[in-house]
Structure 1
Amino acid sequence: MTADDKTTKTTAQPVVDEAIERGWEIPNFTIKEIRDAIPAHCFRRDTFRSFTYVFHDVFIIAVLAYAATYIDTIPSAAARVVLWPLYWIAQGVVGTGVWVIGHECGHQAFSPSKAINNGVGMVLHSALLVPYHSWRISHSRHHKATGHMSKDQVFLPSTRSAVGLPARDLDPEGDGPHSAFDESPIAALWGMFLMFGFGWPLYLLTNIAGQKYPGWASHFNPYCAIFEENQFWDVMQSTAGVSVTIAILTYLGQTFGPLAVIKFYVIPYFGVNFWLVLITYLQHTHPDLPHYRENVWNFQRGAALTVDRSFGILDYFHHHISDSHVAHHFFSTMPHYHAVEATHYIKKALGKHYQSDMTPIADALWQSWKQCRFVEDEGDVVFFKS
């Protein structure tokens, strides 16, 4: 279906007006067509091979931590000032790879065995203070409704009315840019610091940047609207896993001192949070890509709104979660070690509907931050405006 197919709708309901204005063609393909374009071996899950990536990451983390035990023995204060940040950065990068594998377990992509998937995922995510099953459940809902204005779970655009702007036909600044969003570079960087530093734990605790649910919507609250009644014990088990990690960190703090825990674990933990939020924000926030409402959305159209980006050498340590994310959204049970190959075929199958942006990450972040402020309250196809 193209935008022209819907132009018979009345102007009282601007269904795809923005699609027409932007020259955006709504794709019309099936999941089967995309799947048939990908070699069958790309969907095979190999438990042994998956474990090699766990061992790879844990080994590097252990080596980095062991090497860091010698930093404070170095007489040069200048060397210590340089080496600790290098450790924090490196450990945050590798820790993000562990997070990606845990996330893959939640998709049942690690192994054909559900027990192995959930066992490994529980350990890896709990070690990173992620409530495994709770997030697995909400993340599954995100995948089932990617790009849907009222059903997607995270990075939902604010609407015109929600940001306090007048109706479009009464707005003297029209589609923007709006002076209400003018901010200095310092203010923008402060906003980024808050989002990338604390956005992830706040999302888990309060569902910030997610769907607006009544009451305390939290990944630690089994009674909230994120979960079904039969998922109560999954949430409780997830909370227990995080609690065990906190208990271990508390013990280590009492044994080796709180400063040691902060230097070896807490600061790298915030590094993992930074990469996680940055990666996911840029995968689902782009000035040129719309969101759909119910009349237009379907699963494959939503999956095609995901953006592949490259973080250079970090793609290796992040297990290609960024540069093969379109493939992941179409087929979330596909192991990451096949996703790069599958992307080659998906790109051909989607043609112009394949979304990839190789803008340098810092530039891409600034563009999305400044240009992706709100969408219209009405319309089945809505684009970000500023």
Structure 2
Amino acid sequence: MACRLVDSMALFNGPHHNFARTQKIASHCSPGILQVKGEILFQKKIKRQNYLLPVKRAAILRAIAVPAAPPSSSADSAEYRKQLSESYGFEQIGEPLPDNVRLKDVVESLPKEVFEINDVKAWKSVLVSVASYSLGLVMIAKAPWYLLPLAWAWTGTAITGFFVIGHDCAHKSFSRNKLVEDIVGTLAFMPLIYPYEPWRFKHDQHHAKTNMLEEDTAWHPVWKEEFDSAPLLRKAIIYGYGPFRPWMSIAHWLLWHFDLKKFRPNEVKRVKISLACVFAFMFIGWPLIIYKTGILGWVKFWLMPWLGYHFWMSTFTMVHHTAPHIPFKSSEEWNAAQAQLNGTVHCAYPQWIEILCHDINVHIPHHISPRIPSYNLRAAHKSLQENWGKHLNEASWNWRLMKTIMTICHVYNKEENYVAFDRLNKEDSYPITFLKKVMPDLA
């Protein structure tokens, strides 16, 4: 059941009706427009493919999503995206990328220096992570019980930096020496109990197939067929993609990286080596921690920071590629440039998080080319803003953004991108309606 929860996918073929929403602006219909001013919805006369939608003015008590194409006027289209940005918690929702733009065109627009590996900067990032993690362990040891959550938050964020270092190693953007990258990547992942090679193989597929239905190995929308399959599974999916979503990477980690059957024969040998390293840490490191500090010490010094790491792992990943206006597409419709430039989100976090996590959330250039080292991502992003700025999705982390993802981005629908759980089964969707009530709507 848990495996199906992570891999949830079933095509939604239901009819497309207008629907009432209690939020300011409801789920985005793609392509579509929703303009709400007070309690009046204006549906403008616009062209959509080969027919016209008539002019219509409707007084409503709640916002209603209308499947309609964005107006051809650039001014209206900009206003439309501005309203969606405000509703979803974004600073900017990017203008669609022209179909004739290739990913190669975007890569070639970047300055060559952003691809250059700098050994001093690379090892400086290692020093920052080791120092910040060591400080975190001291904080945990010295902090009174009521300050432990702050110490855990710092330490969990610091070891997320270890993941980013291993992440650069996997993308060959840490060192010019492949053996050094494999050693550093394996060591960086070991405290996280993350097998380096299995993750690398699956993560490469995520980059090659970003936001492609079925093929992408990161977050997926839920398939309606699975959502409807069994009450127990449905409830597990609702909780997993609702209140537990900031820790869903734990299920992904467990189900994707330890099963040898998920890898090609030529990958299995390297996978086994990584698994051996992880199990060695578990069978040697954990007993040493328990011997020195006891079971409660293992919880304090390892488990709680590890849960903090997974909070960031889940949050970063879902924010990077999940929004009501960002579609998942079949392999036949998928376009690499649109997925990597127009379907990836840049999200700014507080400065201390950006430093400890080595700018991993400057994420659009990383998807344009994974070979860009983390310390060059900001320079690459500046170049993208200069050359492709109107197409970028940008945000600063806020509660409204998280609320949008956790309460709307659920079941796959080709026309609307996502359908929220509570639209399909309100009775079982109490966790979602609860989140809508209690999560702040601050942006």
TM-score where L is the length of structure 1:
0.78
The residue matched to 2:328 in structure 1 has which SS?
strand
Separation of aligned partners in 1, 2:384 and 2:293: 50
Deviation at 1:129, TM superposition (A): 0.7
Separation of aligned partners in 1, 2:168 and 2:269: 21
Are 1:204 and 2:253 an aligned pair?
yes
- Specify whether residues 19 and 230 from structure 1 end up closer, same or farther in structure 2 by C-alpha distance, changes over 3 A only: farther
Amino acid of the structure 2 residue aligned with 1:21? A
Of 355, 360, 372, 1:334 maps to 372
Residues 13-35 of structure 1: CA deviation (Å, up to 9, x unaligned): xxxxx997356845331233212
The residue matched to 2:257 in structure 1 has which SS?
coil
Deviation at 1:41, TM superposition (A): 0.8
Contact 2:202–2:217 (Cα < 8 Å) also in 1:
yes
Are 1:236 and 2:284 an aligned pair?
no
Amino acid of the structure 2 residue aligned with 1:231? E
Separation of aligned partners in 1, 2:108 and 2:241: 43
The residue matched to 2:345 in structure 1 has which SS?
coil
Query: Which residue in the other structure is 2:337 paired with?
Result: 300
Amino acid of the structure 1 residue aligned with 2:312? W
Deviation at 1:333, TM superposition (A): 1.2
Query: Which residue in the other structure is 1:27 paired with?
Result: 98
The residue matched to 2:261 in structure 1 has which SS?
coil
Are 1:44 and 2:92 an aligned pair?
no
Gaps of 5+ in 1: 9-17, 72-79, 166-180, 207-217
Are 1:131 and 2:165 an aligned pair?
no
Amino acid of the structure 2 residue aligned with 1:200? S
- Specify whether residues 162 and 352 from structure 1 end up closer, same or farther in structure 2 by C-alpha distance, changes over 3 A only: farther
Query: Which residue in the other structure is 2:363 paired with?
Result: 325
Query: Which residue in the other structure is 2:82 paired with?
Result: none
The residue matched to 1:156 in structure 2 has which SS?
coil
Contact 1:306–1:326 (Cα < 8 Å) also in 2:
yes
Separation of aligned partners in 1, 2:320 and 2:345: 5
Query: Which residue in the other structure is 1:383 paired with?
Result: 417
Contact 2:168–2:174 (Cα < 8 Å) also in 1:
yes
Query: Which residue in the other structure is 1:82 paired with?
Result: 146
- Counting only pairs closer than 5 Å after superposition, residues 32-111 of structure 1 correspond to structure 2 as 32-71=104-143, 80-111=144-175
Separation of aligned partners in 1, 2:363 and 2:221: 20
Amino acid of the structure 1 residue aligned with 2:223? T
- Deviation larger for 366-375 or 348-357: 348-357
Deviation at 1:223, TM superposition (A): 2.0
Equivalent pairs counted in the alignment come to 328
Residues 2-21 of structure 1: CA deviation (Å, up to 9, x unaligned): x8xx958xxxxxxxxx9973
Deviation at 1:237, TM superposition (A): 1.1
Sequence identity percentage: 22
Are 1:352 and 2:396 an aligned pair?
no
Separation of aligned partners in 2, 1:295 and 1:190: 29
Amino acid of the structure 1 residue aligned with 2:274? S
The two structures, once aligned, show a CA RMSD in angstroms of 2.8
Of 191, 209, 227, 1:145 maps to 209
TM-score where L is the length of structure 2:
0.68
Contact 2:322–2:409 (Cα < 8 Å) also in 1:
yes
Amino acid of the structure 1 residue aligned with 2:184? V
- Counting only pairs closer than 5 Å after superposition, residues 306-321 of structure 1 correspond to structure 2 as 306-313=344-351, 314-321=353-360
Query: Which residue in the other structure is 1:373 paired with?
Result: 410
Separation of aligned partners in 2, 1:190 and 1:221: 21
Deviation at 1:66, TM superposition (A): 2.7
Separation of aligned partners in 1, 2:363 and 2:67: 24
Deviation at 1:193, TM superposition (A): 4.8
Amino acid of the structure 2 residue aligned with 1:152? D
The residue matched to 1:21 in structure 2 has which SS?
coil
Separation of aligned partners in 2, 1:280 and 1:317: 17
Query: Which residue in the other structure is 1:274 paired with?
Result: 311
Are 1:249 and 2:286 an aligned pair?
yes
- Specify whether residues 70 and 252 from structure 1 end up closer, same or farther in structure 2 by C-alpha distance, changes over 3 A only: same
- Specify whether residues 375 and 221 from structure 1 end up closer, same or farther in structure 2 by C-alpha distance, changes over 3 A only: closer
The residue matched to 1:147 in structure 2 has which SS?
coil
The residue matched to 1:291 in structure 2 has which SS?
coil
Contact 2:140–2:300 (Cα < 8 Å) also in 1:
no
The residue matched to 1:38 in structure 2 has which SS?
coil
Contact 1:221–1:235 (Cα < 8 Å) also in 2:
no
Separation of aligned partners in 1, 2:203 and 2:306: 20
- Specify whether residues 64 and 150 from structure 1 end up closer, same or farther in structure 2 by C-alpha distance, changes over 3 A only: closer
Amino acid of the structure 2 residue aligned with 1:114? K
Deviation at 1:135, TM superposition (A): 0.4
Q: In proportion to residue count, which structure has more strand?
A: 2
Query: Which residue in the other structure is 1:195 paired with?
Result: 245
Contact 1:19–1:25 (Cα < 8 Å) also in 2:
no
Separation of aligned partners in 1, 2:388 and 2:312: 28
Amino acid of the structure 2 residue aligned with 1:296? E
Residues 117-162 of structure 1: CA deviation (Å, up to 9, x unaligned): 1110000011211110000110110010001113111211123444
- Specify whether residues 369 and 193 from structure 1 end up closer, same or farther in structure 2 by C-alpha distance, changes over 3 A only: closer
The residue matched to 2:411 in structure 1 has which SS?
coil
Separation of aligned partners in 1, 2:377 and 2:221: 28
Amino acid of the structure 1 residue aligned with 2:246? F
Contact 1:122–1:132 (Cα < 8 Å) also in 2:
yes
Deviation at 1:190, TM superposition (A): 8.6
- Specify whether residues 141 and 159 from structure 1 end up closer, same or farther in structure 2 by C-alpha distance, changes over 3 A only: same
